[in-house]
């Protein structure tokens, strides 16, 4: 049942009439936002996982144990950094920009890997 026109407030009518410019302005602002950068890692099929044999750099360091009293490497590897395939035989491949965008496997034990350029200059 529609409300009688006498019960509508003048401010409500004013708000409705100014909605179109607000929506237009919001649309323009959304178009001006930068496009998101593509993620360096993605889920790959079994065949693609087999073709790319190298692991991401430094992945073995994540699994190596360290004696906290001497800060020496213990030689043990409590975190398995050799497993890369999920139960459905997919894997995560990452593009490594410092190595000419090479596709490399990401071990299951690692989740937040990203390539960092070396700060070393000679």
| Distance between CA atoms of residues 70 and 89, nearest Å | 40
Give the pLDDT confidence score for residue 99 in this predicted structure.
84
**Structural domains counted in the chain:** 1
Sign of CA dihedral 70, 72, 76, 77: positive
The closest of 36, 116, 39, 41 to 84, measured between CA atoms, is: 41
Average pLDDT over residues 64-72: 81
- The verdict on residue 59 lying in a domain is yes
- The verdict on residue 102 lying in a domain is yes
- The verdict on residue 112 lying in a domain is no
Average pLDDT, the chain: 76
- For 97, the domain range is 41-106
Give the pLDDT confidence score for residue 47 in this predicted structure.
92
- The verdict on residue 28 lying in a domain is no
pLDDT bin (cut points 50, 70, 90) of residue 88 is: very high
- The verdict on residue 84 lying in a domain is yes
- The verdict on residue 34 lying in a domain is no
- The verdict on residue 117 lying in a domain is no
- The verdict on residue 78 lying in a domain is yes
């Amino acid at each position: 049942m529609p409300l009688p026109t006498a019960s509508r407030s003048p401010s409500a009518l004013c708000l409705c009439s100014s909605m179109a410019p607000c929506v237009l302005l919001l649309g323009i602002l959304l178009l001006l936002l930068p496009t998101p950068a593509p993620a360096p890692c993605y889920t790959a099929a079994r065949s693609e996982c087999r073709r790319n044999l190298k692991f991401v750099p430094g992945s073995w360091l994540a699994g190596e144990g360290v004696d906290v009293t001497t800060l020496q490497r213990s030689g043990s590897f409590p975190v398995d950094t050799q497993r890369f395939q999920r139960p459905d035989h997919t894997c995560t491949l990452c593009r490594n920009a410092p190595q000419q965008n090479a596709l490399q496997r990401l071990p299951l034990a690692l989740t937040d890997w990203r390539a960092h350029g070396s700060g070393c200059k000679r």
